[in-house]
């Protein structure tokens, strides 16, 4: 008897694969947070008072760029790692898969801002050739990720 793939089997395998990718990325957020530093836009990051003034015991945050600068770069990286881990778990559970896929689609779409900002900085006078190569490759990878998550959410074109 020949084996045939059902749509449900294909979706389950696809969800498991995206989940594995998200788990790996979440793990990397905590093991190598510096990898993600360039894709956190400066306008989202506050600086710690201590870092600005050389006072290691001070915990008082100081907004750098206004209302959006609510967390430090390290906190944004940790939160995004936690969101990726939560999305990975949600994709593995059939009852939460559609909601997790929609959330993952939104998350990947929101990450575009960071990738565009990193690319802008890479091509600024302070950017290096290595940064230009890395971010020129990294930005377009977001589109297939967005489309992959969107396909798991069951979103059809024009709907």
* Tens digit of each residue's pLDDT (9 = 90 or more) over 93-104: 999 999 999 999
pLDDT tens digits, 114-125: 999 999 999 999
Q: How far apart are CA 72 and CA 42, in angstroms?
A: 9
Domain ranges for the chain:
8-42+85-152
- With contact defined as beta carbons under 8 Å apart, do 14 and 62 qualify? no
Residue 158: pLDDT over 80: no
Q: How far apart are CA 84 and CA 25, in angstroms?
A: 7
For the chain, what is the mean pLDDT?
86
State residue 156's pLDDT score: 64
Residue 30: pLDDT over 70: yes
Which three-class secondary structure state does DSSP give residue 140? helix
Residue 43: pLDDT over 90: no
Q: In DSSP terms, which residues pair with 45 in a beta bridge?
A: 71
pLDDT (mean) for 34-57: 71
State residue 46's pLDDT score: 85
pTM, to two decimals: 0.81
Least confident of 41-55, 62-76, 81-95: 41-55
Residue 108: pLDDT over 80: yes
């Amino acid at each position: 008897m020949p084996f045939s793939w059902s749509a449900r089997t294909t979706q389950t395998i696809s969800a498991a694969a995206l989940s594995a990718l998200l788990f790996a990325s979440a793990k990397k957020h905590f093991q190598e947070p510096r990898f993600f530093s360039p894709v956190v836009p400066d306008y989202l990051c506050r600086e710690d008072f201590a870092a600005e003034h050389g006072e290691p015991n001070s915990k008082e945050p100081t907004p750098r760029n206004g209302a959006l600068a609510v967390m430090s770069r390290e906190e944004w990286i940790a939160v995004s790692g936690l969101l990726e881990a939560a999305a990975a778990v949600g994709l593995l559970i059939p009852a939460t898969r559609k909601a997790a896929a929609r959330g993952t689609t939104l998350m990947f779409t929101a990450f575009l801002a960071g990738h565009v900002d990193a690319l802008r900085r890479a091509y600024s006078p302070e950017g290096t050739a290595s940064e230009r190569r890395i971010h020129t490759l990294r930005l377009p990878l977001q589109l297939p990720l967005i489309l992959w998550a969107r396909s798991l959410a069951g979103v059809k074109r024009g709907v």
